[in-house]
A and B are shown apart, each in its own frame.
Chain A
């Protein structure tokens, strides 16, 4: 229990659990950004800046995304412990919602940087990129920033109150502190705003050039990858057919 005495008791674990992955975030941030620089050697300074913020959001989202694996193991352990030893744990419930909350909240900016937030895009899809960008730009300013700033402002009061009260979870007798979890709202809101600024820059770049700037290279949904592959294959086949047609024409 000496370890716990050093960090201030087992109830303080959430704070350290939230802070511990930060070195990994920094490391992932470095590799992501280096990767982006390597893939786009001719990028302008503006684009580099976009990649810098993208890499940060991606690093946070990916690092804390591993919470899903921890969530899998802790919840499975809880079930196992209950059935095998007849002893349900007193920490699994608090751990599970904190891991889940961290997973999706900290993934928010990552999803934004990948353009993964669902859109009702049945009309949008048919527009030219320039028109898409103009509409996005207007709505980012009109909707996104006011909403997110309200989120940060509201979250700050909420989290700060909780910290001052040194609020502990009432969901279990163990009662770990919850204010780091609540403070995450503020942190995530700020990250979303920063990523939003980058998305606005993307819109402006797209309005200027008429083409959406590239995003970071990342894993994609299977259907997207396969559809792209199929498209490429069809184009290659068409090209081959054209060429062979030409050659035959020559003969």
Chain B
């Protein structure tokens, strides 16, 4: 009855999906059912083998393997209770700068959210920790709310982030290149946030009063020690995971597995019982060894010598051994590990079932030729590549109001992707712009996760409108950074081009 080339049917399928998404039924099953129904009309019994083949390709997808591992790493870091110390140490370090608390908040958010990748947790934790601290110090509510919300969302942009893996799996772009490409835009966005905050504080010191002198004048050694014991290990973990991916030492899934193991060791190390002389000594010896190892790697890098793999292996082995020796008496208990495992299982199931639905749906959609009318429609608008790019970004921005990033990436990206070829746009570059754009989906009403989470944990007198008003400038900064990336694509493309010619 229906055969190949029923583009109208494809468009109907998409329209029905958009309609049904509003009814709030789990999206994975909506996608799967629509795929099966329309597929059955179009190709009869063949749909069953298509369904199972697409599901099986999700089950054996070597890109998606890194999702559970990164998610697991994130939950361990989240449950390891390290945020307090991280924030305090960065606050000490930022002491003399204007708006120091806000900057420390942004930096803490950036690094914690990057390690965990969980926006909600970062915003609520910082909403309980940094937000009251800023209010107590006399900060303006709007600027305090803005930095907590904007900073908490950085984790899905700065690699290693799960979002880029999802985009890579959907668009068929190498995750390694995406990570290399997103590195500088991520840093740039965090830097712009900080710059804006400092400028605002300088223009109007009432917005962010300086801390009292006694809190600013901390001896440098204290600051240094605080950074070494809290900031450095986490930054090292992220740096090692990201570095080994970008420099091709390990695949993303291998780096994620090492990252999870590292996060476990880190959690044990943070919670270890340092009243015992033995443990302190152990960590000190380990620290010296690591400095020597780092020096060796840097020297090798500068003289273009090959790093001896056995020495890398020894460093890994030493890390593992120290971690195991620190286990007795650590405050990271079995139940925290259990919670991380169960939460990781649930989150992974959610994301990967969404992929099963979306793979099936998009296969049927492509079979029906649903792209054609959309493509014709877009081509009829006679857009230049720039015009198309702007239109696509505006659509994604608008989709971000009601939807969350998972849905946008997994469901709506496949619709844009064939058009990229028509307009000769690099999917890698497009992905970087989307990654920046998605930041706004957390901040824009009505489904603004970050402001609502903050409202939920903030003191009762903090008004949601104040939070939204505080977030607004940071949303504009996101758009500014998108324009900058579009005008100077080298911000994103330089590193991948340099590394993988």
Residues of A within 8 A of B (CB): 61-62, 64-66, 68-69, 71-76, 78-80, 83-84, 86, 93, 96-97, 100-101, 103-105, 107-108, 110-112, 114, 116-125, 127, 132, 135-136, 139-140, 142-144, 146-148, 150-151, 153-155, 157-158, 181-182, 185, 218-219, 221-224, 226-227, 230-231, 234, 237
Contact = CB atoms under 8 A, between A and B. Distances in A.
A104 B347 CA distance: 9
B349 A221 contact: no
B313 A118 contact: no
A107 B256 CA distance: 20
B282 interface: no
Nearest to A234: B460
Contacts of A124: 22-24
B145 interface: no
Contacts of A71: 65, 68-69, 257
Interface string B373-416: 00000000000000000000000000000111011000000000
B60 interface: yes
Contacts of A231: 456
Contacts of B36: 146-147, 150
A207 to B, nearest CB: 16
B212 to A, nearest CB: 29
26 contacts: A62-B341, A65-B342, A68-B341, A96-B65, A100-B65, A103-B68, A104-B345, A105-B59, A110-B346, A116-B350, A117-B27, A117-B353, A117-B354, A120-B403, A122-B22, A123-B23, A146-B37, A154-B49, A157-B48, A158-B53, A181-B59, A222-B121, A222-B125, A223-B121, A226-B456, A231-B456
Given A111-B353, A146-B33, A103 B62 contact: no
Contact of A104 (B68, B121, B317, B338): B68
B47 interface: yes
Nearest to B341: A65
Given A151-B52, A153-B48, A223-B121, 11 more contacts: A75-B69, A75-B257, A84-B314, A97-B61, A118-B406, A122-B402, A146-B37, A151-B55, A154-B49, A158-B52, A223-B453
A101 B250 CA distance: 21
Contact of B33 (A107, A143, A237): A143
Interface range on chain B: under 10, 10 to 19, 20 to 34, or 35 or more?
35 or more
B59 A121 contact: no
Contacts of A140: 25
Given A61-B349, A65-B342, A135 B25 contact: yes
Of A71, A120, A148, A231, most buried by chain B (CB within 10 Å of CB) is A120
Contact of B68 (A100, A118, A119, A218): A100
Contact of A122 (B61, B79, B447): B447
B128 A226 contact: yes
Given A144-B33, A150-B51, A117 B28 contact: yes
Contacts of B53: 158
B26 interface: yes
A117 B31 CA distance: 13
A54 to B, nearest CB: 13
B349 to A, nearest CB: 3
A104 B403 CA distance: 23
A237 B460 CA distance: 10
B120 interface: yes
Of A80, A114, A221, A222, most buried by chain B (CB within 10 Å of CB) is A222
- Main SS of the interface on chain A? helix
A117 B26 contact: yes
A135 B61 CA distance: 34
Contacts of A69: 337, 341
Of A83, A105, A148, most buried by chain B (CB within 10 Å of CB) is A83
B346 A118 contact: no
Q: Which 9 A-B residue pairings sit nearest by Cβ, starting from the closest? A: A124-B24, A65-B345, A107-B349, A84-B313, A75-B257, A223-B120, A143-B33, A154-B48, A117-B26
B345 A97 contact: no
Contacts of B72: 68, 72
B29 interface: yes
Contacts of A224: 120
Contacts of A185: 52, 55-56, 59
Given A135-B23, A144-B29, A80 B313 contact: yes
A96 B34 CA distance: 31
A153 B48 CA distance: 8
B273 interface: no
Of B30, B125, B338, B353, most buried by chain A (CB within 10 Å of CB) is B353
Contacts of B55: 151, 155, 185
A66 B348 CA distance: 13
